[in-house]
Amino acid sequence: MSQAAVHSAVEPAETPLTPDSWGKLGMWIFLAGDAVGFGTLLAAYGMMRATSGDWPNPYAVLGINLTAAMTFLLICSSVTMVKALEWLGNGDRARAKVYLFLTALGGAIFVSLQAYEWSHLIHRGLHINGNPWGAALFGTSFFIVTGFHGLHVTGGVIYLVAMIRYVSNRPQPAASYNAVEITGLYWHFVDLVWIMVFTFMYLL
């Protein structure tokens, strides 16, 4: 009860941009900043690639079978995130927690697959300062961009696990709805960034 009171006191429905809560506005502004970070990395990547004479063919070097599967996995985890919020909206905390767990699991598997992919590529000679196929910056940009995204997924998994606890601690489903929706914003953003990274770094 006291927590519901605190909740409404912390987030009065006064913000004109996001009438549900200030937290949502905060997350959107954070994500806008984060998007500039990723935008900078991808713009720099594009410029280095465009001006390089011996940029390796990413499609041939990296292979896309595993990465395509990882992309599907991340999209699926976005779907389970939507489901978690939906169940919470329907007042079913138990199912919401199951779907939050599935989302976190999807993220954890994604990071594990990425670690597997990295170790294979490193074994084949792709290093952060050079590789057998051409421009050294190819490896540099690959590890920095996918690594930056992987860190976001790792952070998201921790965030999601914390949110399972958050939902557990609040008997009223409505008390955690807004916070879970904000978590969803972050998680879908990580999915959105991966769509871009997958296209620019693997497919093109």
Partner 1 sequence: MATAHKHPNYLAILTVVELAVIFMPLGKVTIGVLLCALALGKATLVAMYFMHLRFETRTLGLVAVTPLVIATLLVFVLLPDGFAVVHQTADKKAAVTEPAKH
Residues of this chain that interact with partner 1 (CB under 8 A) are: 16-19, 25, 28-29, 31-33, 35-36, 39-40, 42-44, 46-47, 50-51, 53, 59, 64, 68, 71-72, 75-76, 78-79, 81-83, 85-86, 89, 181, 184-185, 188-189, 191-192, 195-196, 198-200, 203-204
**Nearer of residues 92 and 122 to partner 1, judged by Cβ:** 92
Least distance between partner 1 and beta carbon 8 (Å): 21
Asked whether 187 and 81 are in contact (CB, 8 A), the reply is yes
- Alpha-carbon distance 142 to 200, whole Å? 11
Cα angle 108, 193, 131; round to 5: 80
Closest-CA residue to 81 (of 190, 193, 198, 196): 190
Residue number, 43 or 162, with CB nearest to partner 1: 43
Which CB atom, from 81 or from 111, has the smaller least distance to partner 1?
Answer: 81
Least distance (Å) between residue 1 CB and partner 1: 26
Euclidean distance between CA atoms 142 and 174, whole angstroms: 42
Nearer to partner 1, 149 or 181 (CB): 181
